[in-house]
Structure formats: C-alpha cells, structure tokens
Amino acid sequence: MKKTIAFTLSIVMLISFFVFFGYAESPEKEYEILEGETVTFDGNYNKAENKIEIHGNINYDVLVSHRDCKIEVYKLLPNQSIDDIAFGSDETLVASMDIAVKFSFSFAIKSSADRFYKYVVVLCTPNGKRIEVSQPKYLTVVSEYNYADNGKKYFKGISNDKNNTSVYSDIGAGTAIIPVYYDRLLNNMSNGYLFPHEDDYCYFDREYIDELNATVRSYSASGARVYLQLLLLSKDSSKGGSKGEETKYFMPDIYSSETVSLICTYVSYLTTNFDKYTEGKISGFIVGENIDIKNCNYTEETDLNEYARKYAYYLTVVSNTAIDLNPILDIVVPISANNSFSEGGQLSQGDFSSAELIEAVSKELSETCSKPVKFSLLVDTYKTALGESMDESGNRIFAPIQNEGAELIGVDNIDLVIKFTEALTNTKKYVSAPNNIILKWSIPDTVGGNLLSSTYPYMYYSLIMKNKVSAFVVSFDNAQVQSFDAIEKLMRNIDTSEGLTESRKLLPMLGIKSWDKIIKGFGEYNENNLVAKKRYSSENFNPNEKAFTGSFSYISFVHESIKNFYDGSFSKGIKSAYGIDGRRVLNQRVAQTDRDLHTDLFCLFEYEENYAYTPVLKINVGISDSAEIIGALYEVKAVIGNGSASVERTCIVKSGTIHEVWLDMSGFNKSNKAEYIRISTRSITGTSSEYSLLVYDVCGYSAVNSSEELQTLISEERARIREQYDTEVEEGKNTSLYKIVFIILIIAILAIGILFVFLRRDDDENFKPD
C-alpha cells in the first residue's frame, strides 16, 4: 500500500513539474476545454410562463473528477463565441447550481429575443476557473412536417405574384406562394388589428391583413398548401414596377434584439392568424428570396461562411417562432437557379455559390442547434425546357433542351440538386439539411403561345416522377400578358382524369405520339399518381323541377345569418339586405375592376355538408347594378367542393334579374362531402363603378324522398357528422395526453434505472476487500 502511495505522489510531482514549465511559457487561459462528449443538454421556451427551460446530463466520469465544481449556464449573442463570454457577469450568466448527474434550470426572459440566444454549459471550479464542457447551442423546436406523407397531392403549384387571386386559385392549385412584405404589416393607426408585442401591443395594418386574408382563404379553401414568402423590400425598389425593373430585398438587421423581437411578432401573428379555416390556413414560410444572389442576399457580407451563419440564425428565428405555434409548418430556403452544382455552372460577380451556401447553412444549423432543423429547398428558375428544332422531315417542332452542365438549373439537370441534397444527409451526415425540393418556374417573356403550352406539361410530367420534388410552382410575374390564358385550361385539368387527354393533343407539336418518347420512364409511371383532384362539370345541366318529389333549404337568409360567409379580393363587404324581389338576401358589394379579374364569395362550413340525399342543387343569384342598369352582363361561377373534388358551373347573369344556377351533385356525392361553396363574379358589359352580387338561397332536390323525409334525413345526417367530428377532436386531445403521460412514465423509469446503476457503481468503488 505504501509503495502505491509513493508511486502516485511521484507521478503527481512529475506532472506538476511539466505543467509548471508549460504555464511559465504562456499565460494561464481563462478556461480550459474538456475533450469528448462530457455534457449533453437541450431546452425549450415555456410560453405560458415566459421562461427558458434547460435540462441536461453530465458524464459520470466528469462528475466524479469534478465533484467540487458548479454548473453554470451562459447566454451568447448570435455573433459571439465562447471566447467573448464575460464569465461571472450578471449580464451573461443566467443560472448555476452544484454539479449533478442531471441538471435542470428555468429562468424568466425579458424579451422574445432572449429565446434566440445561444446557450452554453460550463463548469466553474472553486477558484473561479471555467471548464468548457459543451458547445453553444440555439434551443430549437423540431418540425413534424414530412412532405412524403402527402404524396403528389399538392404537386401542382402557382405563385400569386399578381393580384389575380380568384382566377389563379380557381385552377385548383395544390401549392400556392404568396409574398408578404414586412414593410406593410404594421400600422401605427389604432384601427388596425391589435396584437401583443413584448410588454406592449402593436397594430397590424387592417387593409393589408384583410387583403392577405382574402388571398390565403381563396387558396386554402380550395385545398392548397399556402406558403407565405417573407420579404423586406429595399427603400430604392417598388414591387410591381415597370417591366424589367430590378427589385431588391434585404435581410433585416438580424443581430439587433429589437429586430428579432419584431420578426417574432410578425411570424407569431401570421402563424396564429392563418391557422383558422375561416381566415385561411397556411402550410409554411419561405424565408427570403434567392439568398445566393448579390442583389437579393439581404446583406453586404462578402464572406460566405459569415453570411451562412447570419442567414442560419434568421432561419432559426422564423422556424422556432412558427413551429412552436404550429408544428406541422414547412420552412423553406430559397435559392436561384445558378448552377453551382456542376463544373459548367457560372456565377455573376459577387454572387455566392448556392451549393456552398446551402452546405454552409446545413453545417451551421447541424452544429449550433439543439435539435435538427427541418427545411425544404426552393429553386427559382426561369430556364425553359423546350426549344425549337426540326424533325427528320424538316418540320418545325419543339424538342427538349438537354444540358446537364448548363449555367442554370432546370428540368434537364435538377438531378444535380437532388443528389447534392441527398449527399448532405447521407455522406456529410448533417442532421439539418433539405428534405425536399420545390421547383418554381418563372415563365420568361420569350416563352408564349404553343411553346408555352407544350413546355408546361413536359416540365410537369418530368418533375412529378422525381421523389424529392414535392411541388412544381409556376409564376406569371414576368410572362407575356396572354400566357395564363394560353395554359389555363391545361393547368386546371393536368392533375385530373382529363389531364393526359388534354396534354396529348399537344404531342404533334413535339413530333411524337406519346410522352414516354421524350420523358424517360413515363410509360411505366402509374397514371393514377397523376390524378390528385376530381372535377365535375354541370354545364348545360337544366333539370325539370316538376320531376322532384321533395326539396330542402340548405341556406336561406330569411331566418339565417351570414356568419359562415366571407368575401374575397375587390369585395367592399357583405351584409344582409333585401333583394330584387324583396326577399332577404346576402349582398356582396363589389368594386368594378379590370374585366379579367374576379371577386370571390365563400361559404365555409363549420362542419362538412353531405348532399347525398339531394343529388341536385339550385343556387338562386342576382346582380344589382349601382347605376340601376338593367341587362348588363356578368359572369357568375359557382363551385361546391373540398380539397379533392368539386362541382362547377359558369353562367351569364343579367343585372336586375334572378338566375337559377343548377348543379348536378350525383358524381360528387358518391365519395365526397362539401367543405365550401364559392361564388365568383366578374363584369362583362357592366359600366358602373360598383355592383352587388345577391345570393338568395341554396336548395337541394330529390326524386326519391318527400320534403318532410328530407328534413328528417338531413337533420340526422348533420347531427351525425357534428358528433363524429367532435368525438375525433376529443379523442385527439386524449391521445396527446396519453402520449405525454407515457413519455413522463418512461423518463421516470429510465431516471430510476440510471440512479440505481450509479449508486451500485459508487458502492462497488467504496467496497475494499480485506
């Protein structure tokens, strides 16, 4: 025993000797770094108590060797490292306790910006020396969004760049992108929408929010996933300027705590406001625009890694704020189509390599976030996929442009981006990396007519077979005036059973007889995957009302309110009023606009409506012209449906008259229930500055049941649907509660087990055999 003690003392003295000379040559560091995984910690923001909660574990060997230390938690600004910490300062030290295997802290925060500090755990020795045992981390929230759960249901997309919401949403898009400008959200006027901001309140601009509500509602009611693209317009630019005008966007001053607080308020408001069916539901945020481009990269940073750190922090602020309120939101990082994914790509002077930038952002998020940050990638391209060519007979045709090493990413080389994103996860092992890709095609003004008509289905079919591509979004912002008209019908039908029939009519212009001649693998692709929606037309459907044996009034304004009705763009409000014949009606006042623009009126059902007992519906509508002109022509389109199927009819209505809009619901009723009624109007020959859409009632008819029988059957069906829905909601709440209880139980069992192991280990170490 004495020999052992003597040997140990000799080793200690020898080590002390070398340590003495080592420190004699260089001053003692303020802290030391303990190698290996010594401390793991995580945390979250408790909104109810406005607190940060941090919890973690310390490696047992570290606990034994540093049992006289204290645990300290410090906060760091986003642009700081551990070298910048003022140890012991009340401004940076947020919590401390005696060392333990498990530790837990909670502390109140002064502003929402405190949620987005980096936090680091260190050990403090009795003489005040700090030992680094962890890396600074942002406390992040994990998104539950998974695009693979949706298949290709939301593949067809459109970007709402121009104010043509009603027409664009009418094509039945599965994905819609709507720009939102930070600059326009707030209004100091007290007539805005009140919302909490730190210890006070702010007012969101009523006019702008109402405009957004109408736009989001139009798309989401039709079953689209709606993305809000967050933009900050620079002072020397204006959206919607002259053709070709350069529009610049900038990142907010993200290292400013005041700016971070504002962004939290903006995103919180947008997330909570657009989480209701009546206001429209959003499915995600796109954070910026073309972040790799010099004129769109928000910052004057010239170092790619520093810019990546700044953007990653901005992304974290938006992601955490939004997902904390709605865990199934998708967060999207947008890049340009500049091809930095192959040797053939070239960058403009000052632009960042999108490939290097996305990798740097993924690396930063993976290393500095406590949990993985899920995000999607949006590639914004204006590259067309077809060009003019000649067939063997010398006839002019359109043919695919194949150039994998081209300067721009497009359909022909999107696989470069797919392989790159897969490598970030599989090879680089980044836990935060793009999950899927949205390709946005901004139609150039050089593409129109037959070339556009042929290019759209070719791009659509080529991309839908790519598992990693979740949506193909089309933007008409820079396109020719008549571009939308050229492909409106094709866009409307391409994801229905009529899609292939419509697109095959274009094949002669490509010199082929089937799409699989130019799209590899298309012949083996399951055609059922191309059908995401069903559309039933009631054009020329005019039944004999005398043949029916019974009727039921689904909506009538004689006794019912207008609470489930909402107006769309260009509407000046809705109210209950008297119609042309003196009956009580819903009156929607509409500002006379461009004749190509439509105005929407929505009835959004609180519970689904089943029209199975009445295969025929009739909507009585009228138009009242403010100038009291009789006979002016207006187009009225009625749509009843849900996110997967709809029944439609368009008719011409004369002002000063009541028009019957008949709808054949028989096909729809086989497997669908209705979630909304939408009525769109536009002026054809009306010249007054304002007109009113009058909705009298919605009636169902049956040739089987009497009116009394329908009253009983439909009332019972409504009660059944209401009870089923309420039961599912309640079961969902109970399931969540059971999961929480189960998780707590498992954690408790594990904690007891770990404690038992440690106690046994201490007993073994303290036991000395004779």
Residue 710 lies in a domain: no
Residue 711 lies in a domain: no
Residues 701 and 727 in one domain: no
Residue 443 Rama label (left phi>0; alpha psi -120 to 50; beta) = beta
pLDDT single digits (tens) 161-189: 666 777 788 889 999 999 999 989 998 77
Q: What pTM value is reported for the model? A: 0.86
Res. 370: pLDDT tops 80: yes
Residues 55 and 111 in one domain: yes
Specify whether the CB–CB gap between 42 and 104 falls below 8 A: no
Q: In Å, how far are 216, 254, 497 from 647, measured between CA atoms?
A: 21, 48, 15
- CATH number, position 101: 2.60.40.10
Specify whether the CB–CB gap between 219 and 227 falls below 8 A: no
The pLDDT mean for the chain works out to: 85
AA identity, residue 680 = S
Mean pLDDT of all residues in 453-481: 94
Per-residue pLDDT band for 27 (boundaries 50, 70, 90) equals very low
Residues 445 and 527 in one domain: yes
Specify whether the CB–CB gap between 541 and 662 falls below 8 A: yes
Residues 333 and 442 in one domain: yes
3-class secondary-structure state, position 495? coil
Residue 211 lies in a domain: yes
Burial class (CB in 10 A: 0-12, 13-18, 19+), 361: buried
Token digits of residue 647: 């029944």
pLDDT single digits (tens) 307-337: 999 999 999 999 999 999 999 999 999 999 9
Please report the pLDDT score of residue 14 as a whole number. 36
Compute the distance between CA of residue 22 and CA of residue 122 in angstroms, rounded to an integer: 24
Number of structural domains the chain divides into: 4
Please report the pLDDT score of residue 169 as a whole number. 85
Please report the pLDDT score of residue 450 as a whole number. 94
Res. 279: pLDDT tops 60: yes
Residues 450 and 540 in one domain: no
Q: Which parts of 532-675 fold into alpha helices (H)?
A: 666-669
- DSSP 8-state code for residue 382: -
H helix or E strand, kind and range, residue 320: helix 304-325
Residue 29 lies in a domain: yes
| Least confident stretch, 63-72, 84-93, 465-474 | 84-93
> Which of 221-230, 235-244, 251-260, 732-741 has the largest mean confidence?
221-230
Burial class (CB in 10 A: 0-12, 13-18, 19+), 125: middle
Please report the pLDDT score of residue 13 as a whole number. 35
Res. 262: pLDDT tops 90: yes
How wide is the angle at C-alpha 450 spanned by C-alphas 448 and 451, nearest 5°? 60
Residues 292 and 376 in one domain: yes
Residue whose C-alpha is closest to residue 161's, from 174, 186, 180 = 180
Task: Please provide residue 456's backbone torsions phi and psi, each rounded to the nearest 5 degrees.
Answer: -60, -55
Per-residue pLDDT band for 8 (boundaries 50, 70, 90) equals very low
Please report the pLDDT score of residue 297 as a whole number. 58
Residues 126 and 188 in one domain: no
Cα 591 to its chain centre, rounded Å, is 31
Mean pLDDT of all residues in 748-769: 50
Please report the pLDDT score of residue 84 as a whole number. 85
Please report the pLDDT score of residue 365 as a whole number. 96
Res. 243: pLDDT tops 60: no
Beta-bridge partners for 380: 336, 440
Specify whether the CB–CB gap between 425 and 475 falls below 8 A: no
Token digits of residue 251: 């990142």
Q: Percent of the chain, pLDDT > 90?
A: 58
Q: Which parts of 465-591 fold into alpha helices (H)?
A: 483-493, 499-504
Domain boundary among 121, 138, 155: 138
3-class secondary-structure state, position 338? strand
Per-residue pLDDT band for 744 (boundaries 50, 70, 90) equals low
Mean pLDDT of all residues in 341-370: 85
Res. 737: pLDDT tops 80: no
Please report the pLDDT score of residue 18 as a whole number. 33
Domain boundary among 649, 673, 705: 705
Burial of 436-471, coded b for 16+ CB within 10 Å and e otherwise, reads: bbbbbbbbbeebbeebbbbbbbbbbbbbbbbebbbb
Compute the distance between CA of residue 535 and CA of residue 495 in angstroms, rounded to an integer: 10
Domain of residue 728: give its range. 716-770
Residues 439 and 518 in one domain: yes
Q: Are strands 93-98 and 130-132 parallel, antiparallel or unpaired?
A: unpaired
Mean pLDDT of all residues in 713-719: 97
Specify whether the CB–CB gap between 299 and 354 falls below 8 A: no
Residue 475 lies in a domain: yes
Res. 250: pLDDT tops 80: no
Compute the distance between CA of residue 230 and CA of residue 259 in angstroms, rounded to an integer: 14
Specify whether the CB–CB gap between 494 and 460 falls below 8 A: yes
Res. 237: pLDDT tops 50: no
Token digits of residue 732: 């969902």
Q: In Å, how far are 335, 553, 604, 701 from 560, measured between CA atoms?
A: 50, 11, 15, 20
HSE toward the beta carbon, residue 405, CA cutoff 13 A: 2
Residues 388 and 432 in one domain: yes
Please report the pLDDT score of residue 287 as a whole number. 96
- DSSP 8-state code for residue 90: T
Specify whether the CB–CB gap between 460 and 472 falls below 8 A: yes
Strand ranges, E, within 498-543:
534-537
Residues 416 and 280 in one domain: yes
Cα 233 to its chain centre, rounded Å, is 21
3-class secondary-structure state, position 386? strand
> Cβ–Cβ contacts within 10 Å for residue 184, how many?
17
Residues 608 and 697 in one domain: yes
Residue 102 lies in a domain: yes
Q: Pseudo-torsion of CA 466, 467, 471, 473, nearest 10°?
A: -20
- CATH number, position 455: 3.20.20.80
- DSSP 8-state code for residue 517: G
Res. 158: pLDDT tops 90: yes
Per-residue pLDDT band for 97 (boundaries 50, 70, 90) equals very high
Domain boundary among 104, 138, 172: 138
Res. 748: pLDDT tops 60: no
Please report the pLDDT score of residue 548 as a whole number. 96
pLDDT single digits (tens) 674-683: 999 999 999 9
Please report the pLDDT score of residue 592 as a whole number. 74
Mean pLDDT of all residues in 360-377: 95
HEC-encoded secondary structure of 99-116: CCCEEEEEEECCCHHHHH
Residues 609 and 473 in one domain: no
Residue 315 lies in a domain: yes
Which residues are CB-contacts of 416 (< 8 A; sequence separation ≥ 6)? Answer: 339, 341, 342, 404, 409
Compute the distance between CA of residue 131 and CA of residue 71 in angstroms, rounded to an integer: 10
3-class secondary-structure state, position 153? coil
Please report the pLDDT score of residue 732 as a whole number. 56
Residue with the larger pLDDT of the pair 349 and 318: 318
Q: DSSP string spanning 618-653? A: EEEEEEEETT--SS-EEEEEEEEE-SSEEEEEEEEE
Specify whether the CB–CB gap between 313 and 253 falls below 8 A: no
Compute the distance between CA of residue 118 and CA of residue 308 in angstroms, rounded to an integer: 16
Please report the pLDDT score of residue 514 as a whole number. 93
- CATH number, position 549: 2.60.120.260
pLDDT single digits (tens) 545-557: 889 999 999 999 9
